[in-house]
Amino acid sequence: RYDAGKDGFIDLMELKLMMEKLGAPQTHLGLKNMIKEVDEDLDSKLSFREFLLIFRKAAAGELQEDSGLHALARLSEIDVSTEGVKGAKNFFEAKVRQAINEASRFEEEIKAEQEEKKKQAEELKQRKAAFKELQSTFTQ
């Protein structure tokens, strides 16, 4: 919903807009600190996995009360008494489906990278063989 770039990540500006829409605007430095606290891959943006980490940390009591992440977790909670069990079930099922899609896309990307590396290694091997063959004609 807040991924304006539709790239699967929430960057600094998207996080800024999200926090403003949730009624908890943050400073630029505050936003950077929010990302830094859960940014496992150090790309300065939030992946879905890192976004879920916010809620895991909140549930474990690992977020400071005055932090932006605590505010985000608190404002994004689903209230079962308001939404009902079916609403909560739909919310979490949608999150699970999204996580599964992300995981399969991630696996596809890894496989594509591995295939590309194999292809590059094979090309390098062929170039070396061709060079050695050419070199042998000059040394004789």
- Distance separating alpha carbons of residues 28 and 34, to the nearest angstrom: 10
- Distance separating alpha carbons of residues 41 and 33, to the nearest angstrom: 15
Q: Check residue 90 and give its pLDDT.
A: 64
Q: Check residue 115 and give its pLDDT.
A: 92
Q: What phi-psi label fits residue 26: left (phi over 0), alpha (psi between -120 and 50 degrees) or beta?
A: beta
Q: Check residue 80 and give its pLDDT.
A: 45
Between helices 28-38 and 12-21, what is the axis angle to 10°? Answer: 110
- Distance separating alpha carbons of residues 44 and 48, to the nearest angstrom: 13
Convert the pLDDT of each residue in 55-103 to its tens digit. 788 777 777 777 777 777 776 655 445 545 455 556 666 766 776 676 6
pTM beyond cutoff 0.85? no
Convert the pLDDT of each residue in 115-138 to its tens digit. 999 999 999 999 999 999 888 888
